[in-house]
Chain A
Amino acid sequence: MTDTLVQPSAASPTARAVRDLLRSRELAVGVVLLLLIAVTTLKSNAFLFSSTGWRDLLLTPSMLVLLAVGQTAVIITRNVDLSVGSTLGLTAYLTGRLFIDTGLPIIAVVLAGILMGAALGAINGVLVAFGRVPALVITLGTMYIYRGAFLTWAGSDRINADDMPRTFRDLGTDSILGIPVLTIVAAVVLAAVGYYLRTARGGRELYAIGSDPDAAELYGLQVRRRIFSAFVLSGALAGLAGVVSAARFGTVSSSVGSGIELEAVGAAVIGGVAIFGGSGTVWGAALGAMLLVTIYRSLPVLGISDFWQQAVVGALIIGAIVLDRVLVTRQERALVAARDTSAGSTSPGAPTLAPVVAGDAQEGTR
């Protein structure tokens, strides 16, 4: 029985890569996204081909992409971070405050925002990893605390566009070679985290922890330290998203970032990140975030009142997890069939059956 499970695939690496790609969730979400853009553009050329349309298409999702990347790192470890929206609000306000109260250069302010987010994430991480309490409860609590701290600190004043230097606000709208700066920032973060999770030891350990925390502990992985760093990453990216939101919108109001935590979780779920950890990629989560934001923007163009956008998003999330379930059930059935036939036959590990196991069992379409 175990012979089949360790048998490497007989197919060539290229063939396997192509098949993995075709079966991947990322491709499916990407195709849906492209179809949505195509249909909307057919309806109204300006959606894609006007200069603002092109810019908004890339620029608007950047904030949610950052949050979804951080959220994915946390969800992969079988945790969740509900406090990112409050962290975002707090750092956005900090950004504005630093510009008003100090003469710090822009780069220092951006770093301060990221550090602030990382510190808030570290609080979550300490409580979850070392306090041994469920992340859902802790981050629900810190969501209230951070939001309360933000609103108490801000009081009734809000940050206006005039309070921030012109060069900083220009970052929110500027483009390099037709690609907005903030989109480049989000893409760089996405690429770095994606590469780390796929190849680095720390990244693979996050998957291992999420797949089976007890096994990871027995195996000798530094479970607590890894979970802690996942929360720090999520907090730091939420902090960066706060800076991005300040630059993008030019104002910081008291409601900034409220409710966005569930959108970030939703984006990850749509992108194929399993809510019980252990599988999914940041690429999928980022595409999910882009899909969510693009739906928001394209519904009015398609003639559907934008009041329905939330309903569409909800239906999409449910559709995504139902689809996941169908795929997992089908895969389990294939695995059972593969096991039964190979157990019955005299030669273990028929080569035709091995690829089913080798291709999907590790991190595929769950």
Chain B
Amino acid sequence: MTTLTQTPGGTGTPTPGPRTYADYSRPFWQRVVLSREFAVIALLIAAIVYSRSQVDYFSGPQTMYYLFRDSASILLLALPMTAIIVTGEIDLSVASTVGLTSVAFGMLHVDAGLSVVVAALVAIAIGALCGAFNGFLVAYVGLPSIAVTIGTLALFRGIAAGLLGTESRTDFPDSWTDLAKERIIEDQPYPMILIPFVVLAVLFALLLHFSPFGRGVYEIGLNDEAAHFTGVDVARTKAILFVLAGTVAGFVGIYTTLVTGVARAENSVGLELQVIAAVLLGGVSIFGGRGALPGVIAGVLLIGVIQRAMLLNGQTINVINIVIGVLLVLSVMSTSLLALGRNVVSASKGARSSGRSSDSAGKRSLS
């Protein structure tokens, strides 16, 4: 069947001759600098520089510490969320998983009398189980992830509320709650949570950007059928990513419980939308197949810096929400505006190719 484009010799083994095309269409520096990730990082640096010079107390010792501490949950959850959105799926249930594992952790420790470590491990396992439930329904049953995770958003939060109602559990050993708030080095603005975050970020970066598994993730996002035919196990990859999201959410549940000192069902309500907003702001395409972790981390920190700076400037949280919303809309609009500009430019150059290059907006409108 595949004898259409054989070499005249007909032996079937093409000799590796010199390439007639460049390794990449653009030089290295252009590929780095002219990317969305770099734009977000540059924006982050600009925001920090501006805030340090213009906003009072921003350069003070507490600001960066609280910035990291408050952004930690979003930073952690953004790691698996990036991978999930790159495959073209979405997980709206992570914040509910956080709430459920927080409640489970509190009840296991306070009511059942388990030690903190055992309770934490069980809670993380519960988180993984929640993720596996999502993953099974999305990957193996083949249901749309947006509908499934809207369902589990209500289900997991509902179980948490059913278990604990409006009560809360607060009896955690001081050594552990202090550990969650401690700084790595005294008088430096780096809270302890950054250590597990950096470890996880490195692991996720290796997984996503430097492993065959990660290549598969991107391939699924670009075209899952093609990915299937090149040997990527599409269902298993998606299921693994949802399990990872649940596991990380379990860890975040424990962190949230310890850092606030309270285990209750309403912990982190609405966090999922903040995580998704940050991931999209970081340059990940909602259609899948595009995006990178450095941009996402910069996106989370960018939102954190803007929040801090505006709070110090005396703005209310409402104005900050408006700014974040506008930023999110602008960041996704920028892609189509850039594409529009590029089309105009190429049209004026005399448009050699008639096919439109990248117009996937009509292809899949959600997830």
Contacts and interface: CB of A to CB of B under 8 A. Distances in A.
Interface string B132-160: 00000100011110111011111111110
B286 A134 contact: yes
A207 B190 CA distance: 53
B276 A140 contact: yes
Contact of B325 (A77, A144, A313): A144
Residue of A149, A309, A321 with highest tally of chain B CB at under 10 A = A321
Contacts of B153: 262, 314
B320 A148 contact: yes
B366 A325 contact: no
Contacts of B162: 305, 307-308, 310-311
Contacts of B137: 318, 322
Contact of A265 (B150, B265, B322, B324): B150
B16 to A, nearest CB: 40
A321 B143 contact: yes
Contact of A311 (B154, B165, B166): B154
Interface stretch (A95-103, A125-133, A239-247): A125-133
B158 A314 contact: yes
Interface in A194-232: 213-214, 217, 223
Residue of A131, A141, A217, A309 with highest tally of chain B CB at under 10 A = A141
B185 interface: no
A315 interface: yes
A223 B361 CA distance: 13
A143 B276 CA distance: 13
B141 A322 contact: yes
A145 B332 contact: no
Interface string A239-270: 00000000000000000000100100110010
A78 B189 CA distance: 46
Contacts of B333: 127, 131, 133
A145 B325 contact: yes
A266 B151 contact: yes
A313 B154 contact: yes
B273 interface: yes
A265 B154 CA distance: 12
Contacts of B4: none
B365 interface: yes
A213 B365 contact: yes
A142 interface: yes
A66 interface: no
B205 interface: no
A147 interface: yes
A366 to B, nearest CB: 12
B304 to A, nearest CB: 15
Given A132-B362, A309-B158, A318 B151 contact: yes
A186 to B, nearest CB: 23
A133 B336 contact: yes
Nearest to A156: B316
A247 B71 CA distance: 39
B321 interface: yes
A80 B161 CA distance: 27
A148 B154 contact: no
A321 to B, nearest CB: 5
Contacts of A77: 365
Given A136-B146, A141-B325, A262 B154 contact: yes
A138 B324 CA distance: 12
A118 interface: no
B170 interface: no
B161 A131 contact: no
Chain B contact-residue range equals 35 or more
Contacts of B118: none
A6 to B, nearest CB: 28
Contacts of A265: 150
Given A141-B326, A322-B137, A266 B150 contact: yes
A80 to B, nearest CB: 5
Nearest to A304: B162
A31 interface: no
B365 A275 contact: no
Residue of B150, B287, B320 with highest tally of chain A CB at under 10 A = B150
Given A142-B325, A152-B319, A321-B151, A132 B336 contact: yes
A317 B277 contact: no
B328 interface: yes
Contacts of A325: 141-143
B159 A311 contact: yes
B367 interface: yes
A92 B92 CA distance: 27
B333 to A, nearest CB: 5
Contacts of A262: 92, 150, 153-154
Given A275-B146, A321-B147, A322-B141, A143 B154 contact: no
Given A275-B147, A317-B151, A318-B137, A135 B322 contact: no
A148 B306 CA distance: 15
B328 A318 contact: no
A217 B362 CA distance: 9
20 contacts: A132-B361, A135-B365, A136-B90, A136-B286, A136-B367, A137-B280, A137-B286, A143-B273, A144-B321, A152-B319, A262-B150, A262-B153, A269-B147, A308-B161, A309-B158, A311-B157, A311-B159, A314-B152, A321-B148, A325-B142
Interface of B: 90, 92, 137, 141-144, 146-148, 150-159, 161-162, 164-166, 265, 269-270, 273, 276-277, 280, 286-287, 316-322, 324-326, 328-329, 332-333, 335-336, 359, 361-367
Interface of A: 77-80, 82, 127-128, 131-138, 140-145, 147-152, 213-214, 217, 223, 259, 262, 265-266, 269, 275-277, 305, 307-318, 321-322, 325
Given A148-B321, A275-B146, A275-B366, 11 more contacts: A127-B329, A132-B361, A134-B361, A137-B280, A138-B329, A144-B324, A152-B316, A269-B151, A311-B157, A313-B154, A314-B154
What are the 4 closest A-B residue pairs judged by CB atoms, nearest first?
A: A314-B155, A311-B158, A310-B158, A144-B325
